[in-house]
Amino acid sequence: MKSLSIPKENQIKAWYLFIILHTMQVGVGMAGYPRLVFMEARQDSWIPIIITGLILHLVIACMVFVLNSFEKEDLPGILTKSMGKYVGLVVSSLFVIYFLLLFLSVIANYIEFVQVFIFPQMKSWFIGLLLLTLVWYAVYGGIRVAIGSSFVFFLSSIWMVGLLHKPITQIDSRNYFPMFQVGLDEIYQGVLISSYTFLGFELLWMVYPFINDKKRVGRYSQFAIVFTVAMYLLTTMVAIGYFSPRQLEEKVWPLLTLFKVISFPMFERFDILAVALWILVILPNLILLAWMVSFTCKRVHGWKQKYCLAVMIIFSLLFVSIFDDRELVNKLTDFTGRVGLFLGFGFPFVLLPFAIRQRMKGKKKNAKSS
Amino acid sequence: MKRTIIWLLLVSILMTGCINKHILDDIRIVTAVGMDPADNGMIEISVVVPRYNPDKSTTSETFTQLTSLGRFSKEQLSMSESKPFVTGKIEVISVSQEIAQNGIMPLTDGFIRDPSVGSRVFLFVAENTANELLQGQYSSQDNGMFISDMLAQNVERGPLPNTNIHLFFNQFYDKGSDPFLPLLGLRNNKIKILGLALLKDDKMAGKIGLKDLFAFKTLQEKNTKGDHYLVKLDDGNEVYLNKISSKWKVNMTNLETSPKVEYDVNLNLAIREFSGDKLDQARIKKIKDKIEEQFKQEAEEMIQYFQELKVDPLGIGSLARSRLRSWNKEKWQDQYPNIEVVVNSKVKISETGIAE
């Protein structure tokens, strides 16, 4: 496989990583996350979140180390370089399928939101078509359009954090106490549960060659993680304070239910709008994931990216129109989360020895040539 | 390729017109729902729909329906109507006292499951029947909006503690507290707040009247403001005071064995009316002492009444739960009726008005 050489006009600044990694991580899982982690770790949910955050910092550091060792390579390039052509091909294909799973679970979950909250009668294929058209448009324009649109969507959705103000005023601090009641086992379970929600940082594998100032990659991706963890910590703690324990367990999407308390004089039921606005949170995920799937596909098999994209979009459309009951969507989400635990969190460490070997080689070369 | 995408975008935009829309004139917007018992275990559901008259006034129309489950079924109601009912703007849900005594949980499931029902909806208990309350004509508004506004303003600056369907379930699911609901009834053809209905789990176990609301609100919420208080001094004079603010701290000792709960309440009051002739420092001191004494007595009696009923609307159990690691519900419920609860208050009279 050839290494990528990206023309200057297609490169992006490293600080975009802060935005795109963060938007990738915050997505459809966020709405249901406070409940899931609460069911494991109760009022001490902040412990598993922080632990997951620390693990993530380690994973990102490892990814950056690996990527830096191979310099201009992305994931398929690293895999073929370190594991050989055939193994590399198989593992890269696994990643394509995994990215596709992530994409499908995001879109299926969002369609479910829309159907539950706003338009129960709207057909899945119809919502799917609307979303996928936008995705197609953004990805078709190439990496810069994909990242640019994510940036715009990030800016147009980040203000929603301010909506938490109203629920915060109604927090009952009794719900946080007594602290430190959680056992090691629950913390472990809480960390596992968090894994699906925090996924999305795999984007770094693919986007790395496009980055202009590679020295700053580590810094900005770590910032993104800090921001994401802070966001999850905030929403989870607000949900725990606002709902009483058993009430929180009953809410499938606590974050969206939180918004139900918000009301403006000219806008009585803001929660309905919030669900619709959630599309701004979802779209960057979909766009970047679609780019990842189609681009990895192109890299691995040498097919044209636009054909990969077309096939993928048509497949997704068929998928969401055929499988649209909640049970299945949940199963898909769980499965993706479990796969992500290995491919997202675990895999960078598998590549670590190869990266070290690569560095040694590089040093020898340097020593010889000097 | 570009052309295809433009086509697709165009089609998507045009297709947004295909979704089902609700035109205001063609739907019935339900603003209030009432539930009453009927024969054979059926439930009579009354719904209030505003009708906007040509002369710009609004009157309420009430529709009733019998259901077995108690679920408010808009589809079933719509069957005998020319326009469909929608639930997005329900403001109040009322259950009759009889239903409340038998447990309201099975009836409210539909309202928390339905995403179009907000969490600021008021749930209240009607003294006789909900239907009778919802039928009347009280103002130029429809009854749903009227009752909702009435409760909202009484929560905001009146004696009513903060209440809505979200808080109700919050307390219901909290292991250490029991829910309460406003109790409303008809007096002289006017709808009136009569007090609070106290619930044990989801069944109404007792009620408190208006005179206890001051102490209740002060102790139920951590910080409150805006309420009034009337004291009769020993010399026969009466003082009418406004509450500027209140807050409390709680002290719990011996939680494991025989708990003792001590509330320290800080009341900041302002004198609004005094039936005597002159308000000097000595008088004010007297008023302060009297309020402290009276408040303590009222609050402690009220809590004793809660303990007799074994209900805990103040959430003392929750307070204990957040302090004690080994807290468990069964043990607490055994202890609760015998807990010693002391309420100490410290009154500050910060204002006496613009007259001496």
Position B60 scores a pLDDT of 82
* Confidence class for position A286, pLDDT limits 50, 70, 90: very high
Position B222 scores a pLDDT of 85
Q: Chain B within 8 Å of A334 (Cβ-Cβ)?
A: no
Position B352 scores a pLDDT of 76
CB contact under 8 A, A174 and B322: yes
Whether residue A178 has a cis bond before it, omega within 30° of 0:
yes
CB contact under 8 A, B169 and A247: yes
A93 close to A300: Cβ distance less than 8 angstroms? yes
- The average confidence (pLDDT) of chain B is 85
- Most B CBs within 10 Å: which of A114, A255, A260, as the mutation test of the B interface? A260
Rounded mean pLDDT, A112-122: 84
Position B196 scores a pLDDT of 94
Report the amino acid identity of residue A28.
Answer: V
Rounded mean pLDDT, A174-186: 87
A114 close to A275: Cβ distance less than 8 angstroms? yes
Rounded mean pLDDT, A269-294: 88
- What ipTM was predicted for this assembly? 0.79
Residue A31, SS3 per DSSP: helix
Rounded mean pLDDT, B153-168: 90
* Complete domains list, chain A, with CATH: 13-356 (1.20.1740.10)
Position B195 scores a pLDDT of 93
Q: What are phi and psi of B252, to 5 degrees?
A: -120, 130
A87-91, A361-365, B157-161, B182-186: lowest mean pLDDT where?
A: A361-365
Position B19 scores a pLDDT of 65
Higher pLDDT, B5 or B42: B42
Rounded mean pLDDT, A102-121: 88
Q: How far apart are CA A189 and CA A72, in angstroms?
A: 37
CB contact under 8 A, A268 and B5: no
Nearest CA-CA distance, residue B326 and chain A, Å? 10
Position A227 scores a pLDDT of 94
In chain B the first and final C-alpha atoms are separated, in Å, by: 86
In chain A, residues with a C-beta closer than 8 Å to the C-beta of B88 are 269, 272
A175 close to A244: Cβ distance less than 8 angstroms? yes
Position A54 scores a pLDDT of 94
CB contact under 8 A, B322 and A178: yes
CB contact under 8 A, A174 and B89: no
Q: Chain B within 8 Å of A133 (Cβ-Cβ)?
A: yes
CB contact under 8 A, B120 and A260: yes
Rounded mean pLDDT, B194-206: 91
CB contact under 8 A, A245 and B5: no
In chain A, whose CA is at the least distance from the CA of B16?
Answer: A130
Position B16 scores a pLDDT of 66
pLDDT digits (tens, 9 = 90+) for B47-71: 888 888 888 778 888 888 887 765 5
Rounded mean pLDDT, A271-292: 88
Two structure tokens written together for B61:
């129309």
Portion 120-149 of B in contact with A at CB < 8 A: 120
CB contact under 8 A, A129 and B12: yes
Higher pLDDT, A198 or A196: A198
Q: Chain B within 8 Å of A307 (Cβ-Cβ)?
A: no
Rounded mean pLDDT, A201-208: 90
Higher pLDDT, A23 or B351: A23
Q: Name, in order, each residue with C-beta under 8 angstroms of A99's C-beta and a sequence gap of 6 or more.
A: A202, A289, A292, A293, A296
In chain A, whose CA is at the least distance from the CA of B320?
Answer: A174
Burial of B270 per CB tally in 10 Å (0-12, 13-18, 19+): middle
Position A229 scores a pLDDT of 94
Nearest CA-CA distance, residue A248 and chain B, Å? 9
* Confidence class for position A81, pLDDT limits 50, 70, 90: confident
Nearest CB partner across the interface for A244, out of B9, B18, B174: B174
pLDDT digits (tens, 9 = 90+) for A320-341: 988 778 888 888 888 988 898 8
Two structure tokens written together for B109:
């499931």
Rounded mean pLDDT, A254-278: 84
Q: What CA–CA distances, in Å, run from A296 to A24, A217, A309, A313, B92?
A: 17, 20, 11, 15, 55
A336 close to A196: Cβ distance less than 8 angstroms? yes
Position B356 scores a pLDDT of 65
DSSP string across B292-307: HHHHHHHHHHHHHHHH
Closest CA to B9 of A294, A136, A151, A291: A136
Q: Name, in order, each residue with C-beta under 8 angstroms of A356's C-beta and a sequence gap of 6 or more.
A: A69
Rounded mean pLDDT, A154-162: 89
Position B71 scores a pLDDT of 57
Nearest CA-CA distance, residue B43 and chain A, Å? 26
B39 pLDDT above the threshold of 90: no
* Confidence class for position B73, pLDDT limits 50, 70, 90: low
CB contact under 8 A, A121 and B15: no
B78 pLDDT above the threshold of 80: no
Position B306 scores a pLDDT of 94
B20 pLDDT above the threshold of 80: no
Q: Chain B within 8 Å of A270 (Cβ-Cβ)?
A: no
Nearest CA-CA distance, residue B284 and chain A, Å? 35
* Complete domains list, chain B, with CATH: 20-208 (no CATH), 222-356 (3.30.300.210)
Q: Chain A within 8 Å of B236 (Cβ-Cβ)?
A: no
CB contact under 8 A, B315 and A271: no
